[in-house]
């Protein structure tokens, strides 16, 4: 279903478990920082809204979206976070570089989800222009950071429910 048919910030609050005892890493790309900071605000505010404590949210920057995989791996290896949310914005330019960056992040994060016992959340905007990105970072189509936070909470809850 296209994002234009489902707002990224619309969800049933009753379906989201409490994040009170959960710890999150959030890796933020510095490319298109106006967009990625808006994604972060959405993710952070949503985690807090669902009970996470600010002391349990670790924010780290990486130079660009291609480095999201490495940044997420560092957090998984060197901290005790329960999930890592990766936030980036790749906007198509004049060359095929867009395709390689997007595929690289997609493949890298998929591998992390297979290699590690914690969830890595794909909060990457891959847009044709800046307006599409603005529309998905708190604009008319909602905020992909909100979606990432809700996804992280649900996946940590699923992980814990299967362990116990
Ligand atoms: N063009 C965009 C980039 N490019 C940079 C790469 O992500 C990477 O940092 C570089 O190739 C060095 O490894 N990154 C974005 O996040 N968004 C873009 O639109
Ligand atoms: C995704 C990119 O790296 C892209 O924005 C770079 O632009 P260009 O393809 O014009 O070099």
- Is there a binding annotation on residue 118? no
| Residues 22/83, Cβ–Cβ less than 8 Å | yes
pLDDT value, residue 5: 79
Question: What's the 31 CA to ligand 1 centre distance in angstroms?
Answer: 6
Q: Is 157 a catalytic residue?
A: no
Query: Is it the case that residue 30 has pLDDT exceeding 80?
Result: yes
- Residue 1's pLDDT is 59
Residue with the two structure tokens 């505010």 = 45
Q: Please tell me whether residue 69 adopts helix, strand or coil conformation.
A: helix
Domain ranges of the chain: 20-163
DSSP characters over 102-148: HHHHHHHHHHHHHHSSS-EEEEEEEESSHHHHHHTEEETTEEHHHHH
- Which ligand 1 atom is at minimum distance from the Cα of 88? 16
What's the whole-number average pLDDT of the chain?
97
**Span 3-7, mean pLDDT?**
80
Q: What is the pLDDT of residues 98-118, one digit of tens each?
A: 999 999 999 999 999 999 999
Kindly tell me if the per-residue pLDDT of 70 is higher than 80: yes
Report whether CATH 3.40.50.960 matches the domain 20-163.
Answer: yes
Q: How far apart are CA 58 and CA 80, in angstroms?
A: 10
Q: Which of 33, 93, 103, 130 has most ligand 2 atoms within 8 Å of its beta carbon, as the pocket-test mutant?
A: 93
CA distance 74 to 85: 13
Ligand nearest to the CA of 65: 1
Q: Could you tell me which of 26, 34, 38 has the C-alpha nearest to residue 152?
A: 26
- CA-CA distance, 110 to 120, in Å (whole number)? 8
């Amino acid at each position: 279903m296209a994002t234009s048919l489902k707002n990224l910030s619309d969800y049933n609050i009753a379906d989201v478990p409490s994040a009170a005892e959960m710890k999150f890493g959030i890796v933020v790309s510095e490319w298109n920082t106006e967009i990625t900071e808006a994604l972060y605000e959405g993710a952070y505010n949503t985690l807090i809204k669902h009970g996470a404590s600010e002391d349990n949210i670790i924010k780290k920057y990486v130079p660009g979206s291609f480095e999201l995989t490495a940044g997420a791996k560092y957090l998984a290896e060197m901290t005790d976070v329960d999930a890592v949310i990766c936030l980036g914005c790749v906007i198509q330019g004049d060359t095929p570089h867009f395709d390689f960056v997007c595929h690289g992040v997609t493949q890298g994060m998929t591998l992390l989800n297979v290699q590690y016992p914690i969830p890595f959340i794909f909060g990457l905007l891959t847009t044709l222009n800046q307006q599409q990105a603005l529309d998905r970072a708190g604009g008319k189509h909602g905020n992909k950071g909100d979606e990432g936070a809700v996804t992280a909470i649900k996946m940590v809850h699923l992980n814990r429910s299967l362990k116990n």
